[in-house]
Amino acid sequence: MVAPSSNLGASAPAPTSGEAIVVRGLEKSFGEWPVLWNLDLTVGWGELVALFGANGVGKTTLLRILSTQAKPDAGSIQVAGFGLSKNAQTIRRRVGVVAHQTFLYEDLSCRENLVHYGRLYGLEDPRNRAEEALLQLGLSNRADSRVRTLSNGMQKRLSIARAILHRPQILILDEPEAGLDRESIAVLRSLLEEWTDAGLSVIMTTHDLDLGLSWARRAAVLSGGRIRFPAADEYMDGAQVRELVASALEPSR
Partner 1 sequence: MNEFLRPIGVLLWKDILIELRSRDLVVSLLVFGLVVVVVFNFALNATPELVTEVTPGILWVAFAFAGVLAMNRAFVREKEEGGLDGLLLSPISRDSIFFGKAAASFIFMLLVEAVLLPIFAGLLNFSPASFTLILTIVLATLGFSVVGTLFSAISVQTRSREILLPVLFFPVILPVLVGAVESTKQALGGDTVVGLGHWLPLLGAFDALFLVICHWIFSIVVEE
Q: Is 69 in the site for partner 1 (CB under 8 A)?
A: yes
* Stated length of the chain: 253
CB of 18 to partner 1, least distance (A): 21
User: Taking CB under 8 A as the rule, does residue 169 contact partner 1?
Assistant: no
Considering the complex, what minimum distance in angstroms separates the CB of residue 104 from partner 1?
A: 6
Gap between the Cα atoms of 8 and 65, Å rounded: 28
Q: Which range in 32-40, 42-50, 115-123, 195-203 contacts partner 1 by CB under 8 A?
A: 115-123
With both helix axes pointing from N to C terminus, report the angle between 110-120 and 152-164 in degrees, rounded to the nearest 10.
30
The 3-state DSSP class for residue 20 equals coil
Q: Is 111 in the site for partner 1 (CB under 8 A)?
A: no
Q: Which of residues 148-167 bind partner 1 (CB under 8 A)?
A: 162
H-helix or E-strand spanning residue 70: none
205 in Cβ contact with 63 (< 8 Å): yes
**Closer residue to partner 1, CB minimum distance, 70 or 246:** 70
Are 205 and 216 within 8 A, CB to CB? no
Residue 60 vs 223, nearer CB to partner 1: 60
Binding of residue 203 to partner 1 (CB under 8 A): no
Where does residue 136 rank: exposed (0-12), middle (13-18), buried (19+ CB within 10 A)?
Answer: buried
**Residue 76 touching partner 1 (CB under 8 A):** no
Interacting residues with partner 1 (CB under 8 A): 67-71, 89-90, 92-93, 95, 97, 99, 101-108, 112, 116-117, 119-122, 146, 162
